[in-house]
A and B are shown apart, each in its own frame.
Chain A
Amino acid sequence: MFESFLKLLKEEIPFALVTIVEGPSKGAKLLVQSLDKPLEGTLGNEELDRVASRDALGELAAGRSGVRHYGLHGEAREEAIQVFIESFAPPPQMFIFGAVDFTGALVKVAKVLGYRVTVCDAREIFATKKRFPQADEVVADWPNRLIDKVGHFLNAQDAICILTHDNKFDVPAVLASLKTKVGYIGVMGSRRTHEDRLARLKENGVSEQEITRLRSPIGMDLGARTPEETAISVVSEIIALRTKRPMHALKDTVGPIHG
């Protein structure tokens, strides 16, 4: 089964691996992809397979891993068997718009955190794989065009970082991002650029409610100076937003951005 397991992981297909960790036939395994795909392996009982695979799909949808107890034939509220359901969801995605100084550092840090990273810039000479060897994909296109194309695949775990800090590019990119369900929209720029951008966004019909979704200026108030420090300030903000911990975000502070 390990070969199938490897293949699913490499192809980034979401699936769950169910393993009996306590009870008879310890170590028995079931690979679950979706309702319409056949199960691979067995936990030793058809009914148990059915119940466990249903629960595994639920865990997978929530991106969770954990233990469950069943009777020998999948009965609820019995404890003869303990299984571990491990979810393998595809990695979160980060789209970085703008092939600028900060981009390379952000790509590196995002890769450390396990993101699948795409860099996009409309300027073909800057949007090259050679400049961002660690990016999974480098696209030469207008940011808003790319977001319109891939936006419906994005959800709460994903991030869009708009580093162009040029209103010609970032206003359309923000407008396109706001149409998606992406969990994080960070927009780089000085406090003045930020004010100017807000005015332009409002001219384009963006509501106050929508503006609260934007992390602008992007990042935590770390007094970051270098591209690497700035990258850390951006991913720190993404983490703190997910964990809902209090933070000093640049969005909520005043004064100079760089320390």
Chain B
Amino acid sequence: MREILDDLEKWRSAGKEIVIARVVDLEGSGPREPGASMAVNEDGEVAGSVSGGCVEGAVVSEALQIMESKDRRIVTFGYSDDEAFAVGLTCGGTIHLFLEPLDW
């Protein structure tokens, strides 16, 4: 989270709502290690990243939903034959992200 601190502080002091997504686990080949993080604010602005750009778009829409629902959850992105059209990692791995509002 170190790399997104500046943005988090800036957004917080501007009173923006923020959702943070953190990589908590990965299976197979994944571009970022557990702890990689990304934040989205209520204006849809983004800081940081959780993959090599493969799933960031999908993370933004999940994050905006969570901003509405105020819940927190694990979101998994992977690629397998039965979900050929789902959002996945081009490297073939699966990543588990934890998304939650910055309300703590």
- A, B in one complex: yes
Residues of A in contact with B (beta carbons under 8 Å apart)? 1-2, 6, 9, 19, 21-22, 26-27, 29, 64-67, 84, 86-88, 91, 114
In the A-B complex, the 4 residue pairs with the smallest Cβ-Cβ separation, listed nearest first, are A65-B35, A84-B24, A65-B34, A21-B98
Q: Main secondary structure on chain B at its contact with chain A?
A: mixed
Contacts of B2 in A (CB 8 A): 9, 88, 91, 114
CA distance A6 to B5 in the complex (A): 8
Cross-chain contact of B35 among A2, A21, A26, A86 (Cβ < 8 A): A86
Q: Which residue of A lies closest to B36 (CB)?
A: A65
Interface residues as binary, B81-104 with A (CB distance below 8 Å gives 1, 0 otherwise): 000000000000000101010101
**A21-B74, A21-B98, A27-B72 known; A67+B104 contact, CB < 8 A:** no
**A65-B35, A86-B35 known; A2+B98 contact, CB < 8 A:** no
Cross-chain contact of A86 among B5, B12, B22, B104 (Cβ < 8 A): B22
Interface size on B, residues (CB 8 A): 19
Cross-chain contact of A27 among B1, B12, B33, B100 (Cβ < 8 A): B100
**Chain A proximity of B38: nearest CB distance (Å):** 14
Contacts of A84 in B (CB 8 A): 22, 24-25, 34, 98
**Chain B proximity of A198: nearest CB distance (Å):** 38
Whether a CB of chain A sits under 8 angstroms from the CB of B43 is no
CB distance B74 to A66 under 8 Å?
A: no
**A1-B104, A66-B25 known; A86+B74 contact, CB < 8 A:** no
Whether a CB of chain A sits under 8 angstroms from the CB of B9 is yes
Contacts of B33 in A (CB 8 A): 65
CB distance B34 to A66 under 8 Å?
A: yes
Q: Which residue of A lies closest to B34 (CB)?
A: A65
Could you pull out 24 A-B pairs where Cβ atoms are within 8 angstroms? Answer: A1-B104, A2-B102, A6-B5, A6-B9, A9-B2, A9-B5, A21-B24, A26-B72, A26-B73, A27-B72, A27-B100, A64-B34, A65-B35, A66-B25, A66-B34, A67-B24, A67-B34, A67-B96, A84-B34, A84-B98, A86-B34, A87-B35, A88-B1, A91-B2
